[in-house]
Amino acid sequence: MQKITPFLWYNDQAEEAAELYTSLFKNSSIGKISRYPPGVPGQEGKVMTVEFTLDGQEFIALNGGPHYSFTPAVSMFIKCETQEEVDKLWDALTAGGSIDKCGWCRDKFGLSWQVVPKGLQELLQDKDPGRAQRATMAMMQMEKLDIGMLEEAANGN
């Protein structure tokens, strides 16, 4: 049993969001879907919550209405094994969403994601302060992160 489960508040797109997210990650599925019970004005029978798993991590999504929205203060951090994985996830998550700097984006539901290639942390924390600084400066200029370009920048190229 997972002790802590992220609980995500959507206006009315919880099921659509869960479907998108589970289509992008291995070992992912949609679980229980609960519906608003009778007597809830304007909501009876509509999806209330969706339980889903992304790469083994459990989540719950709520259709709670427009009272709250996501901010970049909380984001999903994705560790990507390859540049191809970065590219695939970036394209899927930014479709209908928005792009920010340093590998951050928002999907069409407003949830923020950080799409990060393997090796980034090592470059940013390199023992050589010059390499780390060059990699950091290059990252700060990028939208989607490119590990090849970051390595070139770290090397002074």
Q: Where does a domain end: 63, 90, 107?
A: 63
**40: pLDDT strictly greater than 90:** no
pLDDT 10s digits, 119-143: 999 999 999 999 999 999 999 999 9
Same domain, yes or no, for 150 and 82? yes
pLDDT band with cut points at 50, 70 and 90 for residue 42: confident
Residues ≥6 apart with Cβ < 8 Å to 1: none
pLDDT for residue 129? 96
**Max alpha carbon distance in the chain (Å)?**
65
Do 48 and 15 contact (CB within 8 A), yes or no? no
Q: For residue 86, which of 23, 151, 20, 24 has the smallest C-alpha distance? A: 24
Q: For residue 115, which of 84, 136, 138, 141 has the smallest C-alpha distance? A: 84
How does the average pLDDT of the chain come out, rounded? 96
pLDDT for residue 109? 98
Percent over 90 (pLDDT), the chain: 96
pLDDT for residue 115? 98
Domain with 50 in it: 7-63
Extended beta strands in the chain, E state:
7-10, 29-35, 47-54, 57-63, 75-80, 98-99, 104-106, 112-117
Same domain, yes or no, for 51 and 103? no
pLDDT 10s digits, 62-95: 999 999 999 999 999 999 999 999 999 999 999 9
What's the CA gap between 46 and 140, in Å, rounded?
A: 43
CATH number at residue 32: 3.30.720.100
pLDDT for residue 68? 96
Is the entire prediction scored with pTM above 0.85? yes
Residue 42 included in any domain = yes
More confident residue, 41 or 144: 144
Same domain, yes or no, for 54 and 83? no
**145: pLDDT strictly greater than 90:** yes
